[in-house]
């Protein structure tokens, strides 16, 4: 028995190095794979978005005396180090993670303990638990070390007063009126992307193209005139960094984390050089913040005005954070909207009718406006239902920085705390027929209880870019449904979580060009 435990321990240590990521080409052409073939295994390396730190010291072990004194949540920690890690990995890769969590909740209740990647972890389930996580993480819980190492001092990693300061600066830039001013830039980038990567092709793979589009849009907003060149120069590094954020923070050469640290350094160097050049060229007349200023320039002007005590490093770190946040979420939403629309033509026809009506009131070549976005009510309901059924992030981990009491149970300092979105998103007591794709459920938002639908988080960590994500998605879908019809190359294609949801063949589709003047039923 001791021998097998030793083997398991060694495998767990070496997993990040052994399960190296196989990079896929970032092109739009469909790539044939044998029927039933799965993407290269990489989940052990990148189990969780904001996943738990791989720390062999772990939380201080609880002595028998301490266990008796504290009312720990029910559950089973399993074998030391291994715990429920492999079981959860299998569930994620087979897209049965919701069933996995519900089995845990059914057995132990809405507050239970387990062990994931060597860390004792408490699963908190339900709307009340979501609220507790959102409103207490600023001073009780902290992000995982992988994210802190890769993105440093950013809105993704800070807490308390530091978070409030950075969040204030970010919200000033991402407030709705600023997003409206950038809408023309978003519109132009979407059109450019579609002309270069979709038009004239019979078959494309949606996932890599959606990822490429998301990066291009956010870089045009963050870097302004340098956006295209930065996108081309750093696309591979941002992909590497994105994968590393989902990895175990083990500093072994050739692992995702090690590659991510190198990519982060290269990205930081490029952005720092851009920021220094912009800072040197700031003029007095820019003291009044230009409405069209890109993110870098805007933050530098705020700093020069003394509105926020941001260092140059803070601006660079948050530029990286905003790019990661926009890129890693929106492309999943666009991919799975196209997934659902390929399967449900009746919903596609309703969206097309809505988008055709908007286009009818515009001159050819005119960019979309915020008023146009506001008219895309049904399209946004489809987006919300996509976020409910396929949340881009399956769960959120934090670390208790002090002993916490919740619902009568004690969560010791150093333990991880996990909130899984699907627990409320797919709860039949909260949503009627939760596994049915039905955008009409969002016609009455008052019918959805608070803290049940949480694609953009909540409380102090509510995503400040949710309006930006909405604008980006709506503009992309407007031009896609107006120009194309598509069929899935693999009608039975499934998706897995790695840990973000992704179709196993990256959703190759056959494209048919649609006349802009066609009727909505065409």
* Partners of residue 175 on adjacent β-strands: none
* Partners of residue 513 on adjacent β-strands: 484
Candidate ranges 30-34, 92-96, 504-508; pick with highest mean pLDDT: 504-508
Q: Give the separation between CA 49 and CA 247, rounded to whole angstroms.
A: 8
Confidence of residue 378 (pLDDT cuts 50, 70, 90): very high
> What is the residue whose two structure tokens read 């990286």?
320
Answer whether residue 396 shows pLDDT above 60. Answer: yes
Q: Give the separation between CA 172 and CA 152, rounded to whole angstroms.
A: 21
Considering the domain boundaries, does residue 519 fall inside one? no
For range 138-149, the mean pLDDT: 61
Would you state the pLDDT for residue 245?
73
Candidate ranges 41-50, 293-302, 307-316, 384-393; pick with highest mean pLDDT: 384-393
Q: Give the separation between CA 361 and CA 364, rounded to whole angstroms.
A: 10
Nearest CA to 17 among 47, 48, 42, 49?
A: 42
Pair 113, 122: CB distance under 8 Å: yes
Lowest mean per-residue pLDDT among 51-60, 204-213, 302-311, 433-442:
51-60
Would you state the pLDDT for residue 101?
93
Largest CA distance in the chain: 75
Provide the token pair at 340: 């659902």
For range 386-415, the mean pLDDT: 89
For range 466-472, the mean pLDDT: 89
Distances (CA, A) of 130 to 5, 281, 484: 36, 45, 39
* Helix residue spans in 30-125 (DSSP H): 64-69, 85-93, 97-108
Q: Give the separation between CA 163 and CA 464, rounded to whole angstroms.
A: 12
Q: How far is CA 49 from the centre of its chain?
A: 8
Confidence of residue 140 (pLDDT cuts 50, 70, 90): low
Provide the token pair at 68: 């008796």
Work out the end-to-end distance of the chain between its first and last CA atoms, rounded to an integer number of angstroms: 65
* Cβ contacts of 325 within 8 Å, gap of 6 or more: 156, 463, 465
Helix, strand and coil content of the chain, in percent to the nearest 5, comes to: 55, 10, 35
Lowest mean per-residue pLDDT among 81-85, 205-209, 311-315, 376-380:
81-85
* Cβ contacts of 27 within 8 Å, gap of 6 or more: 205, 208
Considering the domain boundaries, does residue 520 fall inside one? no
Pair 398, 135: CB distance under 8 Å: no
Q: Give the separation between CA 149 and CA 145, rounded to whole angstroms.
A: 6
For range 64-74, the mean pLDDT: 72
Considering the domain boundaries, does residue 91 fall inside one? yes
Number of domains in the chain: 1
Considering the domain boundaries, does residue 68 fall inside one? yes
Give the three-state DSSP class for 486.
Answer: strand
Confidence of residue 138 (pLDDT cuts 50, 70, 90): very low
Answer whether residue 306 shows pLDDT above 60. Answer: yes
Nearest CA to 375 among 495, 475, 230?
A: 475
Provide the token pair at 304: 């020069």
For the chain, give the mean pLDDT.
Answer: 80
Helix (H), strand (E), coil (C) string for 100-127: HHHHHHHHHCCEEEEEECCEEEEEECCH
Would you state the pLDDT for residue 64?
53
Confidence of residue 464 (pLDDT cuts 50, 70, 90): low
For range 362-376, the mean pLDDT: 94
Considering the domain boundaries, does residue 522 fall inside one? no
Candidate ranges 21-35, 185-199, 390-404, 452-466; pick with highest mean pLDDT: 185-199
Would you state the pLDDT for residue 52?
39
Q: Give the separation between CA 277 and CA 346, rounded to whole angstroms.
A: 51
Answer whether residue 478 shows pLDDT above 80. Answer: yes
- Name the DSSP letter for residue 33: -
Would you state the pLDDT for residue 290?
55
Provide the token pair at 423: 């627990």
Answer whether residue 20 shows pLDDT above 90. Answer: no
Considering the domain boundaries, does residue 106 fall inside one? yes
Considering the domain boundaries, does residue 278 fall inside one? yes
Pair 114, 78: CB distance under 8 Å: yes
Provide the token pair at 92: 């994620």
Answer whether residue 326 shows pLDDT above 50. Answer: yes
Q: pTM of the predicted model, to two decimals?
A: 0.82
Would you state the pLDDT for residue 521?
52
Provide the token pair at 401: 């920085």
Considering the domain boundaries, does residue 521 fall inside one? no
For range 444-451, the mean pLDDT: 84
Confidence of residue 139 (pLDDT cuts 50, 70, 90): very low
- Name the DSSP letter for residue 200: T
Confidence of residue 246 (pLDDT cuts 50, 70, 90): low
Residue 467: CATH number of its domain: 1.10.630.10
Task: Please tell me whether 463 is known to bind a ligand.
Answer: yes
Nearest CA to 214 among 325, 318, 296, 320?
A: 325
Percent of the chain with pLDDT over 90: 40
Confidence of residue 513 (pLDDT cuts 50, 70, 90): very high
Q: The domain containing residue 221 runs over which residues? A: 2-513
């Amino acid at each position: 028995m001791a021998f097998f435990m030793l083997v398991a321990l060694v495998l767990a240590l070496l997993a990040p190095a052994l399960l190296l990521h196989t990079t896929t080409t970032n092109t739009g052409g469909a790539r044939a794979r044998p029927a039933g073939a799965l993407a290269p295994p990489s989940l052990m390396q990148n189990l969780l978005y904001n996943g738990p730190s791989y720390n062999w010291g772990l939380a201080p072990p609880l002595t028998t005396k301490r266990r008796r004194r504290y009312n720990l949540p029910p559950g089973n920690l399993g074998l030391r180090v291994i715990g429920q890690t492999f079981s959860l990995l299998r569930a994620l890769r087979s897209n049965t993670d919701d069933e996995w969590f519900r089995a845990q909740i059914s057995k132990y209740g809405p507050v239970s303990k387990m062990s994931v990647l060597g860390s004792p972890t408490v699963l908190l389930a339900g709307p009340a638990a979501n609220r507790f996580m959102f409103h207490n993480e600023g001073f009780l819980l902290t992000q995982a070390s992988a994210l802190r190492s890769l993105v440093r001092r950013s809105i993704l990693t800070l807490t308390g007063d530091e978070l409030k300061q950075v969040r204030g600066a970010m919200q000033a830039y991402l407030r709705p009126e600023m997003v409206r001013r950038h809408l023309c830039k978003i519109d132009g980038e979407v059109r450019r992307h579609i002309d270069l990567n979709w038009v004239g092709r019979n078959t494309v793979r949606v996932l890599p193209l959606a990822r490429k589009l998301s990066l291009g849009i956010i870089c045009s907003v963050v870097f302004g005139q340098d956006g295209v060149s930065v996108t081309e120069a750093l696309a591979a590094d941002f992909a590497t960094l994105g994968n590393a954020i989902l990895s175990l923070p083990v500093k072994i050469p050739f692992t995702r984390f090690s590659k991510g640290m190198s990519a982060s350094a290269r990205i930081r160097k490029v952005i720092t050089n851009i920021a220094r050049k912009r800072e040197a060229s700031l003029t007095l007349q820019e003291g009044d913040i230009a409405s069209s200023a890109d993110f870098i320039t805007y933050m530098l002007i705020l700093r020069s005005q003394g509105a926020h005590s941001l260092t140059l490093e803070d601006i660079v770190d948050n530029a990286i954070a905003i790019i990661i946040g926009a890129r890693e979420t929106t492309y999943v939403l666009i991919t799975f909207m196209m997934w659902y629309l390929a399967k449900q033509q009746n919903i596609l026809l309703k969206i097309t009718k809505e988008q055709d009506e908007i286009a009818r009131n515009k001159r050819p070549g005119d960019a979309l406006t915020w008023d146009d976005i506001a008219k895309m009510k049904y399209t946004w309901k489809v987006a919300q239902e996509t976020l409910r059924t396929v949340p881009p992030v399956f769960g959120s981990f934090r670390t208790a920085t002090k002993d916490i009491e919740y619902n009568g149970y004690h969560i010791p300092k150093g333990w991880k705390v996990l909130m899984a979105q699907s627990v409320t998103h797919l709860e039949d007591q909260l949503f009627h027929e939760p596994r049915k794709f039905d955008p009409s459920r969002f016609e009455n938002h008052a019918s959805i209880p608070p803290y049940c639908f949480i694609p953009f988080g909540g409380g102090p960590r509510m995503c400040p870019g949710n309006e930006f994500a909405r604008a980006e998605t709506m503009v992309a879908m407007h031009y896609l449904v107006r120009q194309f019809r598509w069929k899935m190359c693999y009608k039975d294609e499934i998706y897995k979580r790695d840990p973000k949801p992704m179709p196993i063949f990256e959703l190759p589709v056959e494209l048919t060009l649609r006349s802009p003047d066609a009727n909505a039923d065409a």
